[in-house]
Chains A and B, each alone.
Chain A
């Protein structure tokens, strides 16, 4: 009986030595390092696409001004995404779950804020008028913990160096300041000067990197033949065009890939077919 158990022990020990030996062989060559690098590479790709998806799900708003909750989510998402990349022991789902949960909560909270103004006020706060009818509100400055230096810095950021020019200044929920100047100090508009101009539509991109954008072209009321006519006027080939923008009047701008001076043609409504 003792002999049998001794044989069994011996066989077990031999088996263990073999497995340890193969581990040593694997560790000696850089195979383990390469395998780990490939795991990290694949995880980075997965989380990259996940973060892109999350940012797209939150919507275009996030690419511009951020509300406090949106800023928090953005920072959290970026930090959480690094955890499974840095540590291969953490499953990818441990990164994906909080990212998706936070983003979905944020989207739902934004939607609820639209429906319930009180909730919006609770989550995002409300804009504060810091200068009203040319007078600085000290109480609002105190509430916002805005110093005089902060106020003047924000105004300079709006190209206002003389505080007496300001009629209203509002600190938005994003922390930015919106300013309305007093009329005598404000830039005159065409209407003020009395210019009678027709409303203009913005030009649209009709050719991008050698490809005609049919949808834009149709919305302007032009066709592919018109594009070809314009290109021949500007001595350009379609494949050499980087940007071609046009408006309804037929005014067009053609910039080539070769870096030469762009061709600009003034508008003529009779160009339309």
Chain B
């Protein structure tokens, strides 16, 4: 009977942890998506300095998130976003025309990450 009780406790902990991490990742991804939109809007409005600042702030926030998310999410998914976020700063500072496409790709990667970590039929199967 002790083993059964321990099993129930472990399952409850796992369930709690998975809900908690799912909600956390979901919120963080939503935040990162809104940051990319913010960078886009600022860049389009002509405020390139603020856009660069936001891009740097995005990278810092991403690095902080990456530290603990690498314990929960496959590293390959995160590495791709690392690469694009670093490139965004460079493109924003260089006033490059490729910035929009990179921001779109970054947003798409984060949305994929968010969907992949959410327990819906598509991601489960």
Binds A, one of B2-10, B34-42, B106-114: B2-10
Within 8 A of B (CB), among A47-61: 57-59
**A107 close to chain B: CB less than 8 A:** yes
Main SS of chain B's interface residues? helix
Q: How many residues of B contact A (CB 8 A)?
A: 22
User: In the complex the two chains form, is B90's CB within 8 Å of A89's CB?
Assistant: no
Question: CB-CB < 8 A to B18: which residues of A?
Answer: 97
Residue from the list A9, A89, A97, A107 in contact with B75, Cβ < 8 A? A89
**B71 close to chain A: CB less than 8 A:** yes
Residue from the list A8, A91, A100 in contact with B10, Cβ < 8 A? A100
Within 8 A of A (CB), among B60-74: 70-74
Main SS of chain A's interface residues? helix
User: In the complex the two chains form, is A90's CB within 8 Å of B7's CB?
Assistant: no
User: In the complex the two chains form, is B93's CB within 8 Å of A8's CB?
Assistant: yes
User: In the complex the two chains form, is B7's CB within 8 Å of A103's CB?
Assistant: yes
User: In the complex the two chains form, is A5's CB within 8 Å of B95's CB?
Assistant: yes
Q: How many residues of A contact B (CB 8 A)?
A: 24
**B75: nearest chain-A partner, CB-CB:** A89
* Bound CA–CA A211/B3 (angstroms): 31
* Bound CA–CA A59/B2 (angstroms): 11
User: In the complex the two chains form, is B14's CB within 8 Å of A97's CB?
Assistant: yes
* Bound CA–CA A89/B80 (angstroms): 13
Enumerate chain B interface residues (CB-CB to A < 8 A): 1, 3-4, 6-8, 10-11, 14, 18, 70-76, 89-90, 93-95
8 A-B pairs with least C-beta separation: A89-B75, A104-B7, A107-B7, A111-B4, A104-B11, A104-B10, A91-B71, A107-B3
